[in-house]
Amino acid sequence: MSMPLPQFSHETLYDDAPMVPIKQLDAVWFQVGGTICNLRCHHCFISCTPENDKFKFMPLEMCKPYLDDAKALGAKEYYFTGGEPFANPEMIDILELTVSQYGPATVLTNATVLTEEKLARLKNIAQASEHKIEIRVSLDGYTPEMNDPIRGEGTFDRAIAGTKALVQHGFQPILTITRTWDDCDEKVLEGFVSLLAGIGYAKPRLKILPSIKLGAEVDRTTGYTETDRITHDMMQNRDPAQLLCHNSRLVTDQGVWVCPILLDSPHAHMSDSLQGAMQDYPLRHSACYTCWLHGAICSNDTTSCTAPK
Ligand code: SF4
Ligand code: SF4
């Protein structure tokens, strides 16, 4: 019996939207942390909190058939997100299975729940596997004054301690920073480079992300307006490969969604299977406008916003 899909507000759907074809499945995202997070960031576009269990942790047994399907469909890499993935008690088992049997994996974390035991296991798995493990750490300021009003009191110190521990265990985490400032990016990047040099991370990888104006971010700032939409004209001469939905899908405990950005939209649910979700998708959501402006914002690519020399 199918379950009712989670309901969500804060979005406008537009008719007659241009379609994005999916020609192949290159990457599969897993909402392993559901919408459960130890933090409650004010800009979280899927409003994760410790109490929000609209989407639940995905256990290993639930992930495995999707990994098999993804591999059969030609997926080359795997992303694990939440919520906080490392709050899922089976996250490291899922990661070990993925990099030993399927392909390279990336975990998006706030780096505040990494224990010494988890770090030691992660290091051993990374060293034993032919496939790479990437860790992305979200942090939104190079000082507590810049970060903590958005991510919560004390989160700067905890995330920096987690980042330092990752570096000491042989990882080169990608710091992802949501643009919430008025300064120029150069100044912010310099602040991060200096901060990270101080904890022994000499050549940090940094990625600045635009804010997604959904979920909690609507209350912190504003939501999208009626002009924030994609028209057919806007997709003329635009390579759809720049959009995440062109070559990837998101697996959750409640089926397959088009992308991680639209998790909270029941309209973005595509199928119960990856095979069923291999269909073209209409760019009918306001948040698609952010992708149109900024490209594949969820990829690991840091080349467009690397740290200044
Ligand atoms: S932005 Fe990330 S760390 Fe913050 S509440 Fe959302 S999922 Fe958790
Ligand atoms: S939000 Fe972005 S990735 Fe998701 S369907 Fe829209 S354009 Fe594609």
* Across 299-303, average pLDDT: 62
| Number of domains, the chain | 1
- The Å distance, Cα 236 to ligand 1 centre, comes to 35
Residue 1 lies in a domain: no
User: What is the maximum span of the chain, computed from C-alpha positions, in angstroms?
Assistant: 56
Residue 47 lies in a domain: yes
Q: How far is CA 113 from each of CA 44, 110, 123, rounded to the nearest angstrom?
A: 18, 8, 16
- Closest ligand relative to 111 C-alpha: 1
Residue 3 lies in a domain: no
Task: Please tell me the distance from the alpha carbon of residue 170 to that of residue 179, in angstroms, as a whole number.
Answer: 28
Which residues sit with their C-beta closer than 6 Å to ligand 2? 243-245, 258-259, 261-262, 281, 283, 285, 287-288, 291
Residue 13 lies in a domain: no
Tokens encoding 216:
């909690």
pTM of the model: 0.93
Which structural domain range is residue 194 located in?
A: 19-305
Closest residue by Cα to atom 7, ligand 1, is 83
Residue 244 lies in a domain: yes
Residue 4 lies in a domain: no
What is the structure's pLDDT at 248?
97
- The Å distance, Cα 19 to ligand 1 centre, comes to 30
Task: Please tell me the distance from the alpha carbon of residue 192 to that of residue 142, in angstroms, as a whole number.
Answer: 5
Q: What pLDDT digit, counting tens, does each position of 178-227 carry? A: 998 877 889 999 999 999 999 999 999 999 999 998 888 888 888 898 88
Percent of the chain residues past pLDDT 70, beyond the cut: 92
Q: How many residues does the chain have?
A: 309
**For residue 308, what pLDDT band results from cuts at 50, 70 and 90?**
very low
Residue 12 lies in a domain: no
CATH number at residue 131: 3.20.20.70
Residue 112 lies in a domain: yes
By C-alpha distance, which of 3, 11, 1 is closest to 263? 11
Of ligand 2's atoms, which has the minimum distance to the CA of residue 292? 7
Tokens encoding 224:
């999208």
User: For residues 84 and 44, is the Cβ–Cβ distance under 8 A?
Assistant: no
Tokens encoding 195:
């901060």
